[in-house]
Structures are given as C-alpha cells and as structure tokens.
Amino acid sequence: DSGVTQTPKHLITATGQRVTLRCSPRSGDLSVYWYQQSLDQGLQFLIHYYNGEERAKGNILERFSAQQFPDLHSELNLSSLELGDSALYFCASSVRLATSTDTQYFGPGTRLTVL
C-alpha cells in the first residue's frame, strides 16, 4: 500500500459525459501528479500540482482540468468524454517539488471506460 488513494476504482460512462476522479496523496506529500495510461502504452504525464499551485502541464487536453485543494487532495475533471479517453488514470504524490530525485508514490488507478 503506497498510501495514495484514488476513487473510484472503476468508472463506466457514455460519450459526451463529464466525470471527476479523486486522489488523496500520502500524508505530508505536497506534490500531486496525474498520468494517463492507454492500452499497452506508457504513462503519459498530464499535470503536476505542488501545494495547491499548478507547476507543470504535459499532454493534457483542454477538455481535462485539475485542481489541488487546501487539504492537498486533488481532482481530475474530464468533460465531453470520447471513446479514446478510455484509459487508466493514475495519481502519484511526492514530498517535494522536483521529479528528479523525489520518489513518486502511485495510487492504484481509476479505470475509465467510455461507451
């Protein structure tokens, strides 16, 4: 158990809908990262928050948005869903800001299926 929790575990929805994925980081971790893993592919970095502020954006679509709240939990909002958005969405947390030397701890992921 990494200490990072993600809800829900599974989500099935229809095209055009909007969903919210939730992540609670490990106690004391200030950084939260969101990743998308499509079938048989590597993890694609979406966005990074540190202590409530957005620090870096990766290949995140404009239909997607995220935020980190004062209690440090984070939500990833996906709207106008398309079939291609079906994927595993991982959240990770780390203590500090830098990715180079700071281990990221991953949650179990949310499997999103868009029908």
Partner 1 sequence: DQQVKQNSPSLSVQEGRISILNCDYTNSMFDYFLWYKKYPAEGPTFLISISSIKDKNEDGRFTVFLNKSAKHLSLHIVPSQPGDSAVYFCAASAGYQLIWGAGTKLIIKP
Phi-psi category of 71—alpha, beta or left, where left has phi over 0 and alpha has psi -120 to 50?
A: alpha
Q: What sign results for the dihedral spanned by CA atoms 106, 39, 34, 47?
A: positive
Rounded distance, CA 32 to CA 92, Å?
6
Which residue from 25, 48, 74, 76 is in contact with partner 1, where contact means CB under 8 A? Answer: 48
Return the range that interacts with partner 1 (CB under 8 A); candidates 13-21, 61-69, 72-80, 101-109: 101-109
Task: Return the range that interacts with partner 1 (CB under 8 A); candidates 12-20, 60-68, 75-83, 105-113.
Answer: 105-113
Residues in contact with partner 1 by CB under 8 A are: 2, 4, 33, 35, 40-45, 48, 55-56, 58, 90, 92, 97-101, 103-109
